[in-house]
Structures are given as structure tokens and as C-alpha cells.
Amino acid sequence: MKKSFFMSLCFIVYIFVSSTISYAIGSSLKIGLNVCINDSVTLDALKVIPKSEEFQGNSGEYDIKIVDGEGNILYDAKVHLNFFIMTDPPREVNNTIFYEAIPFYGTNTSIRFYKNEKLLFDYDLKNLCNNDNYCNSNENYLSCPADCPLDKKDGLCIKEQDSVCDPDCPQKQDQDCTAAPAQVKTDNTTRILIAAIIAVILLFIILFIMIRIKTGSEK
């Protein structure tokens, strides 16, 4: 009885701590590939964006895949491209753009683009973040939080109530930007530290209660 009570309390503490620390924002990858009729493929656009509807193609001679470091395929969608523009009569063009949102599984993965199983393009997503303390090129908070912390401009408005005013948010969209100036801004490290301190205090309270119950029952 006492053991299950203790286990339940520990579980509540665990849930509290994990929900405080992990408030991860779901994300997708917006990719633009310039595909030429002669099978050359170049990167046109690449950005991690907040989770949005992702491309789920199931027919076509092209394939877009995401593979992890061990070569496991995490995502595979068929792509149909046409090299015509709809004039009257339709006119053939040399290149076309594949521009879609696909899943983002982190920077330890690669994007591969195939035509009839022949690899045309391979991009290592480690290149999304170069950790040089500058928020530049394709980096933003979702792809490179070290270079693009929430309080730096990165072209992405994250309006979570996280005590950080995101300078990319239009006026009044991020309530943290209208908070009293005396309010102390906390970064992720501070938040994790606070959660850990609260967890330790809660554990001490639980242990204290357990010892009191044990002492009471022994009397």
C-alpha cells in the first residue's frame, strides 16, 4: 500500500518535471529542389518550420527519402513532376521545382532524391546548423537553437508563453513582449534548473512524508 503510494508520487513528480522541461515544438522541413530534365538536382530552399501538413506522395518516377546515420529509411514518398507549363499548347521546360513540407527527424539525417532508384541528390542535414554563434543561412530556432536563441531574430515567430519575447512576432502576438519590463527573462538552462530544483524539493517532501508514516506505524 505504502509502496504503491510512493510509486504514484514518484510518477507525478516525473510527469511534472518532464512536462516542464520538454515543451518541444513539433517541426517539419520545407524543402525546395530544382530538378532539371537532364537529372541534375540543386537545393533551392531549405528551412525547418513549425509542424505543418507534410507531403505524402504515392505515385511518380521520383522518390524523396529521409535516411538516418545507419541508412534506415525514415520517410519515403513518391514524387510526380512534370516539365510542362500549361500554356496553350503546353510548353516543355528544362526544369521544375519540387517545393513541399516533409517530416523533420533532426540534423542527424539526410535527404535523398531519386529517379527510378537512381540517386540524384543527397543532402546531409548537419549542414542546417554550423554552431558559429551567428544565426544565418538556413538556420533558425528550430534547426539551430544554439545560434538562434528565442530572443534573436531568425524570421520565425514562436509565440509560446515562455518568458522570452521573440522579436520576430508582430506586435502583441507574443504576450511575453508586452510583459512588464521588470520581468526577468529566463533561457532554457534556467528553466531546466528551476524544474530540477522543484523536483528535488518535491522528492524531499515525499521522503519526509514516507519517514513520518513509517515512524507513526512503528509506534
| Nearer CB in complex with Ca ion: 122/132 | 132
Judged by beta carbon, residue 77 or residue 165, the one nearer Ca ion is 165
**C-alpha grid cell, residue 17:** 518535471
3-state SS assignment for residue 110 = strand
End-to-end CA gap in the chain: 18
Contact between 174 and Ca ion by CB under 5 A: the answer reads no
- 9: burial class by Cβ within 10 Å (0-12, 13-18, 19+)? middle
* Residue from 20, 107, 127, 130 binding Ca ion (CB under 5 A): 130
To Ca ion, the closest distance from the beta carbon of 43 in angstroms equals 17
By the 8 A CB rule, do 95 and 82 touch? no
Which three three-digit cell numbers place residue 121? Answer: 541528390
Minimum CB separation of residue 189 from Ca ion in Å reads: 18
Letters for 138-167 (x = contact with Ca ion by CB under 5 A, - = none) are: -x-------x------x-x---------x-
Residues engaged in binding Ca ion (CB under 5 A): 130, 132, 134, 139, 147, 154, 156, 166, 168
